[in-house]
Amino acid sequence: MEFSFEYFEILKQVNKTPSYTVMWAAFGVPLLIAVFMLCTIVIPNKDIKLKINTAIISILGVTWILGFITTILFLFTGISGIKLLAIWCTLFVSVSIFYIFHSTEIAKLYENFPLKE
């Protein structure tokens, strides 16, 4: 039995037009990164700001690159929009969980990064 998305208009539209998910993966995530980075301007503590910015760039940056590649490849195979959205959300959750468990190692990578303030 297939789950019906008739009750949710936005999901119905995404299911009909899978390119919406690809557009979100390509342009929505960088916009979300910019909005979150602008929101961190109000944080006065530089250490906390650096940790938050590192998390934003790490999680959303990896999700942006991998999510766009994955959704564009699956778009050409004919997968429905809801499945593309589920794949993108699963990728986002997986990258977030990976970052949570490996945040200290990732922070060490950013400390050794040559383009530091």
pLDDT in tens, 52-78: 888 888 888 899 999 999 999 998 998
In this structure, what is the dihedral angle of CA atoms 35, 115, 54, 90, given to the nearest 10 degrees? 80
At 2 the pLDDT is 64
pTM of the model as a whole = 0.77
pLDDT in tens, 31-41: 988 898 888 88
20, 26, 101: which is closest to 68 by C-alpha?
26
Per-residue burial over 12-24, b if 16 or more Cβ lie within 10 Å, else e, is eebbeebebbbeb
Is pLDDT at 14 greater than 60 in this prediction?
Answer: yes
Cα 100 to chain centroid, rounded: 15
Q: Which two tokens stand for residue 98?
A: 């990976």
Mean pLDDT of the chain: 84
Is pLDDT at 10 greater than 90 in this prediction?
Answer: no
Is pLDDT at 116 greater than 60 in this prediction?
Answer: no
